[in-house]
Amino acid sequence: MLPRVRRKPLLIGATAVVTGAAAGFALILPMPQASAATAATFYASPAGAGSACTQAAPCALAGAQSAVRAKLAADPGADVQVLLGDGTYQLSSTWKFTAADSGSAGHPVVWRAAPGASPLISGATRVTGWAQDGTSGVWSAPVPAGSETRQVYVDGVKVPVAGATVPELGWSGSWAGSSTGYTINGDATARAWFGARTAAEVAKVEFDYPGGNGPWTQSRCRVAGYSASTATLTMAQPCWTNVTNRAAFSQGSGGLPSMSVNTKPARVDNARALLSPGEWFLDSAANRLYYQPQSGQQMQNLDVQLPRLESLLQGAGTLASPLHDITFTGLQFSYATWNDPSRPAGFSDVQSNLRITEARNQGMCTFANPAGSCPWGALTQPMANVAFTATTNLTLAGNRFVNLGGAGLSVMYGARNTLIQGNEFTAIASTGLLLGCTYDPTPTNASEAQGIKNHCTPDPSAVAGDSIGLNEILTDTTVSDNVIHHIGTEYTSACGITLLFSRGTKITNNALYDLPYTAITAGVIQGHVDQASTPQNSTNINERNTISNNLFHDYMSVRSDGGAIYVEGHQAGYVNRSDGTIDPVATLAKGLQVKGNVAFNGRNTNFTYYDDAGAEWINWEGNVAFNAGGSAQGGCSPTGHLWIRNSYFSAPTQSYPCAQPVDSNASGNVSIPAAPGPGHIPAGILAAAGLTSAYVAQPNAGAPQVRYISATNAAQVLIGGHGFTAATPVFVKNVRVTGVQFVSGGFLIVPVPAGTTAGDIRVGDGGGPATAGRIDDTDSRIIYGGFSQQSGRTFGDLNGDVHFATANGSTATLTFTGTGIAVYGEQNTDQGNIGISIDGGTQQTVSTLPTDGVRHANVAVYSRTGLNAGTHTIVVTKLSGSYAVLDGFAVTSA
């Protein structure tokens, strides 16, 4: 079975149906309003069969889809939903939707999790039949013929392929590069290693080049062969040429550098000889998977998933007949791979996971000599494991995209009125969410039509009859209240969200964190031949797009030269006055609106809000950036028409180290400290950034995590992170704090006593063993058996509350780290004896009767010092008397 976690449902609206979501997010979508339409509910389950599709006799997914089509054919206006039962739906082929699966206006077909269910859509095979290979510690098992993957998951976690760094291999000698590969005659250790491999083994080896084509990139190429007689490594083509010998182009405002042929790889992957604990290797010729368990892992107890599909779900209409009025909610999409980087074209990284897979002048159009393919910037995009093209009124709500080998989700090619809301994107090898296509900057240009069909759709033949024009533009997409984190796990130049060419896109109130590169990019490469001196070299259809009220933190953690929001190229449709000149007010209104975003902890950030090559017509307004890079706003060679207004920044703005823009207009901006506290940033801006109130308490928001604490030498501190709710407890020295101000899912304002340090502050109920300090009885790390809480007492209890028990044998247990412990409670005449045991030792009896016959609250009724430094467990047991009262503990550490 695949690991899964039950979560509580989310409520949206008053009249609703409850759904459960796989391992994470449950959503309640409003039911359709009463109408003349008939309603039909079909049922599916992983073990379903037949065509009844009832709750008693559910269908498989294909059977349910057939039932939906039949119902819609007989009753086109029906309200149809399919409830997916609990479990893993192991696909043998891509789950495909076409126009025949559409609902009608106001009556979408809804595919949703059944109440309480956690349906998981999987493209993997569970690997069984493991046998140990001698005494090596390596195990192997048979896999289906034709298996090919770049990922393997063990107990729901991606494990690395067999590999090692070059220093670990001891390849310290000299390598001489060439147009075909390397001569390694000067590296005896590397020669010996390759000489011991078969030709088939060598052809599987992959070299990794982080930063090879610029610090924002991570390219990968396979080795094609090795000649022992000449000590030469031949690299796979066209990958090697596309990494080391990219075509030059004219009028560039930004560079696309080639890597030196003499650059040694940083890492060597995909060789069985390099297996170490926790790694895998697939011998596709022998149809066998190898895995070396980590210490403590028992092979027979492991759930090993081998992805076999690249596409889990594909929704594809045509421009003339789109897939429309359809909703997917409460589902989890997992365990798909993306194998193209393993092929000869490899992963020749250009920027943001766009790569060169064809000739070395791909996408350079007439700016290269000889001319490359057009339009400018038409690079190859990562494959999305869930993809939609030519759709109308598509909704994806409350789903999880997790453990995927390509991009998580893509929407492009004429998609209109798309809602992507309340989803989680995590543990994804490439980009989280990909909007648009590199081949359609100007779809009204007839010369681009075939390229659009070939590269922006899954099946060019299916759209052969489409007439390409304005109808092909990605239009009116809303991306809101999503959580995107830990993406780019394999291709670290990935962005959380990549927006290419579109109109009316709104990316708002999302939380993006723990990202290897830029959080949101709007434009990749598309402005690299535009700047103030050549503003019209490349044009596009972008207009009316908005990026607002998003929360970013801990981005740019691996790659560099990026930001929280990165923008390139044209961003507005021009509005001309009657005299033919551009109307700046009207044009800016149609430009890119970047408002109300909050960013902090940008680790390798150049510019937090980055208007780079050819960027123009951008309204940066009301944004926040602190501890987020050398400059809050700026870039290299933007075209201009930039407004930076009413924002709160800890770093300078209008930083343009390359060519200056035509114009840059800054006003009303406020300088704040690099470590701001309460009051430095308007609470209204912080409150509006990140998930909206309906989503902050939902499971996809995650558990509370603190990533920022302002200086503690003040009466209050500002705490930043994610997963906060109005009910999130905050502790200082293990005592729960009162008066906490909930600002948003990303910020709290917390009163602290004098002498508090950042290390004294704990947010949330987690945190492992208790550490030095007082611990209130309400601390969730205390495990009670038979105790109840009483609040509002006036006897002097810590925070006015205690836990009490009346039944003998009731217990309170705490695990702590320290050298001493005190038990706080009450002495009163209605009490008796309690038992204390530490680390399972002999129970000591302690009386809680007062010697003076008077109540004493919040007193240490027991203490112990001199414990060995480390982690201990204390158990308090009621032995006698009417009551036993606990007011917490105090941990000491010598």
pLDDT digits (tens, 9 = 90+) for 793-814: 889 998 788 999 999 999 999 9
Cα 632 to Cα 619: distance, rounded to the nearest angstrom: 14
Vertex 314, ends 309 and 318: CA angle to 5°?
145
| Paired tokens of 360 | 């070395």
pLDDT tens by residue, 116-139: 999 999 999 999 999 999 888 999
Give the pLDDT confidence score for residue 765 in this predicted structure.
Answer: 76
Exposed / middle / buried, residue 33 (Cβ in 10 Å: 0-12, 13-18, 19+): exposed
| Paired tokens of 45 | 């389950």
- Is the pLDDT confidence value at 5 over 60? no
Q: Classify residue 770 by its DSSP letter.
A: B
Q: How confident is the model at residue 605 (pLDDT cuts 50, 70, 90)?
A: very high
User: What phi and psi values does residue 204 have, to the nearest 5 degrees?
Assistant: -95, -15
pLDDT tens by residue, 23-69: 333 444 544 444 457 999 999 999 999 999 999 999 999 999 999 99
All residues at 6 or more sequence positions from 782 whose CB lies less than 8 Å from its CB, including other chains: 775, 803, 812, 813, 814, 886, 888, 889
- Is the pLDDT confidence value at 668 over 80? yes
| Paired tokens of 158 | 């991606």
640-645 and 616-621: which strand pairing?
parallel
pLDDT tens by residue, 670-726: 999 999 999 999 999 999 999 999 999 888 888 899 999 999 999 999 999 999 999
Give the pLDDT confidence score for residue 42 in this predicted structure.
Answer: 98
Give the pLDDT confidence score for residue 799 in this predicted structure.
Answer: 79
pLDDT tens by residue, 304-320: 999 999 999 999 999 99
All residues at 6 or more sequence positions from 684 whose CB lies less than 8 Å from its CB, including other chains: none
- Is the pLDDT confidence value at 10 over 70? no
Q: Classify residue 222 by its DSSP letter.
A: E
Cα 302 to Cα 288: distance, rounded to the nearest angstrom: 17
| Paired tokens of 505 | 């896109």
Q: How confident is the model at residue 454 (pLDDT cuts 50, 70, 90)?
A: very high
Closest CA to 526 of 517, 518, 536, 516: 536
pTM over 0.85: yes
Compute the residue count for the chain.
Answer: 894
Q: How confident is the model at residue 766 (pLDDT cuts 50, 70, 90)?
A: low
- Of the chain, the end-to-end C-alpha distance in Å amounts to 46
Percent of the chain with pLDDT over 90: 89
With H, G, I as helix, E, B as strand and everything else as coil, classify residue 743: strand
Closest CA to 493 of 553, 565, 561: 561
pLDDT tens by residue, 213-258: 999 999 999 999 999 999 999 999 999 999 999 999 999 998 899 9
Give the pLDDT confidence score for residue 135 in this predicted structure.
Answer: 86
- Is the pLDDT confidence value at 874 over 90? yes
| Paired tokens of 361 | 């002048």
Instruction: Tell me which of 203 and 16 has the higher pLDDT.
Output: 203
Give the pLDDT confidence score for residue 9 in this predicted structure.
Answer: 35
Give the pLDDT confidence score for residue 776 in this predicted structure.
Answer: 87
